[in-house]
Amino acid sequence: MIVVSAASGAFGRLVIDRLLARCPPGRIVAAVRRPDRVAYLAARGVEVRHADYDAPATLRAAFADADRLLLISSPELGLARRVAQHEAAVEAARGAGVGALVYTSFLGADTQASGVAEAHHMTERALRASGVPRTVLRHPFYSEAFLHPGLRAAVAAGELSDATGGRGINTALRADLAEAAARVLTENHHIGRAYDFTGEPWTFPRLAEVLTRVTGTAVVRREREPAPGAQGWLEGQVRAGALERWTGDLSGVLGRPATSLEQVVAGLFPPCA
């Protein structure tokens, strides 16, 4: 039995979809806080169980009989609550006798105990202490944070602006990461491994070139002042070189190259019929 926690979220839904392409629905359990929101999965033969990260009693029952458990990290932003949720899930997995736990961590969490990686660093430590067989999938930032339908406005204006200093970006698509998770959950040689997932590195200058080539419209890249809020923080991380690390782990697990920048852009701008 393969149990996917937080299966009603954007990433969890993709993982369930990829699992359904690899194994019978009767082997898959969607563990969610609101079962009524995934009635469509039950209609496809997927078992749906109630699992609330803030209600540990629900977790042990939800994880029962799991040969594999995908523990998708909580979207909670508060550090103390998020870590408590993860630790409760790890303890529930241990108590339920889960065969192996696969955790979606964050790139750098093995060495960084602060910032974005802090909760993941603490969760990885709890996983090691639990003794539960495990696989750690350290994700980068999602490509969707940068590459999205909003790029159409840049093409319309003929200008792509950013505040990254032209530095490299190692994001990955949710779909690629979900496929990798499905492979890890259904293959036996990943237990005990920790993967540092990154997609193919790209830059905003290169993105402008790809937009020009794919759309046939000249797009010029322009450096601007940092944006306010979360966008400005993320651009600052890129500008500082924090997203330039690259590994072949994602393509290795996928058995193919990660989706390229050209493929993403082509998907956003399909040719006219």
CATH of the domain at 37: 3.40.50.720
Are 55 and 108 in the same domain? yes
Last residue of a domain, one of 139, 161, 184: 139
Q: How many angstroms separate the CA atoms of 43 and 50, rounded? A: 16
121 by DSSP, 3-state: which? helix
Q: How many angstroms separate the CA atoms of 140 and 176, rounded? A: 12
The length of the chain in residues reads 273
Structure tokens at 271: 């040719």
Structure tokens at 226: 């940092």
Last residue of a domain, one of 139, 162, 184: 139
- 111, 136, 119: which is closest to 196 by C-alpha? 136
Are 60 and 97 in the same domain? yes
In this structure, are residues 103 and 11 in contact, taking their beta carbons and an 8 Å threshold? Answer: no
Note the pTM of the prediction, 2 decimals.
0.95
Are 86 and 24 in the same domain? yes
Are 135 and 162 in the same domain? no
Are 150 and 76 in the same domain? no
CATH number of the domain that residue 161 is part of: 3.90.25.10
Residue 36 has a CB neighbour count (10 Å cut-off) of 9
Are 159 and 46 in the same domain? no
In this structure, are residues 34 and 2 in contact, taking their beta carbons and an 8 Å threshold? Answer: no
Are 58 and 28 in the same domain? yes
191 inside domain: no
Are 133 and 154 in the same domain? no
Are 31 and 50 in the same domain? yes
Are 72 and 158 in the same domain? no
For the chain, give me the number of helices (H) and strands (E)? Answer: 11, 9
Structural domains counted in the chain: 2
219 inside domain: yes
Residue 267 has a CB neighbour count (10 Å cut-off) of 12
Structure tokens at 243: 């997203």
Are 130 and 152 in the same domain? no
> What H or E segment, with its residue span, contains residue 101?
strand 100-106
Q: How many angstroms separate the CA atoms of 109 and 269, rounded? A: 35
Last residue of a domain, one of 98, 124, 139: 139
Domain containing 227: what range? Answer: 144-170+201-244+259-268
- 221, 215, 226, 214: which is closest to 159 by C-alpha? 221
Query: What is the chain's pLDDT, residue by residue, as a tens digit (273 residues)?
Result: 999 999 999 999 999 999 999 999 999 999 999 999 999 999 999 999 999 999 999 999 999 999 999 999 999 889 999 999 999 999 999 999 999 999 999 999 999 888 889 999 999 999 999 999 999 999 999 999 899 888 999 999 999 999 999 999 999 999 999 999 999 999 999 999 999 999 999 999 999 999 999 999 999 999 999 988 888 999 999 999 999 999 999 999 999 999 999 999 999 998 864
